[in-house]
Structure 1
C-alpha cells in the first residue's frame, strides 16, 4: 500500500508541476497578446501620419527623433516576432495540456487499481 501511496504522491507532484507550467505559459501568451495590441495601435497611428511628419521615440527619459520608415520597420518586425512567439507558445500549451491529460489518466488508473486491489471492508469482516 505504501508503494501505491508513493506512486500517487509522485504523480500528483508531476501533475502540479504541469499545471504550474501551463499557467506560466498562459500568462506569457497574455503578455505577448497585450504587446501585440499595443504595437497594432502604433501601426494604426503610423497610417494616420502624413509624409514628413516627425516621429519621436521615448528612450528612458529622453524623446529622440526617429526616421518614419525605420520606426515602421521596427514595429513591423516586432509584430512578426510577437506572432511567432504566440504560435510557439500555443504549441507549447497544446503539448502541456496533452501531458496533463495523460498524467490525470495515470493518477486515475493508479487510484482505481489501488481501490480494486485493496481489502474490501465488508468482506474482510466475514
Structure 2
C-alpha cells in the first residue's frame, strides 16, 4: 500500500515539474510572438521607405534623422542601408519562425507526456479505490 502511494507521489511530483516546464515553454512562445510582431512591423515600415526611395530622382535630397538632427544622406547610401535593414529583419523573422516551430514541437511533446502521466495517476488512483 505504501509503495503505491509513494509511486503516486512521485508521479504527481513529476507531473508538477512537467507542468512547470510547459508553462515556461508557453511563456517563451508568447515572447517569440511579441518579438516577431515587432520585427514584422519594422519590416513593413522599411519596405515602405524603400518604395518611397525608389520613387525619387537621382539628384533628390534625402535626409536621415539622427537624434534631433536631420543629416543629409546620399540616395544610393540610403537605399543600400534600407535594403540591408530589410535583409537583417527578414533573417531574424526566419530565425524566429524556426525557433517557434522548435518550441511548439517541444510544447506538444510536453503535453503528450503530461497526458500520459495523468492517465497513469488516474489508473493508480482507481486501483487504490478498488483496494
TM, length-normalised to structure 1: 0.94
Aligned equivalents of 1:49, 1:104: Cα separation in 2: 54
Aligned equivalents of 1:5, 1:116: Cα separation in 2: 13
Residue equivalent to 1:18: 25
- Where does structure 2 lack aligned partners over 5 or more consecutive residues? 1-7
Residues 13-22 or 43-52, more deviating:
43-52
Residue equivalent to 2:65: 58
1:49 equivalent in alignment to 2:56? yes
Aligned equivalents of 2:9, 2:123: Cα separation in 1: 15
Match runs of 1:1-126 below 5 Å: 1-120=8-127, 123-124=130-131
Quote the offset at 1:119 in angstroms. 3.6
Output the aligned Cα RMSD: 1.2
Which ranges of 4 or more aligned residues in structure 1 deviate by more than 4 Å?
Answer: none
Quote the offset at 1:122 in angstroms. 6.3
Residues 111-120 or 45-54, more deviating:
111-120
Quote the offset at 1:110 in angstroms. 0.4
| Structure 1 residues 103 and 122: CA distance shift in structure 2, 3 A | closer
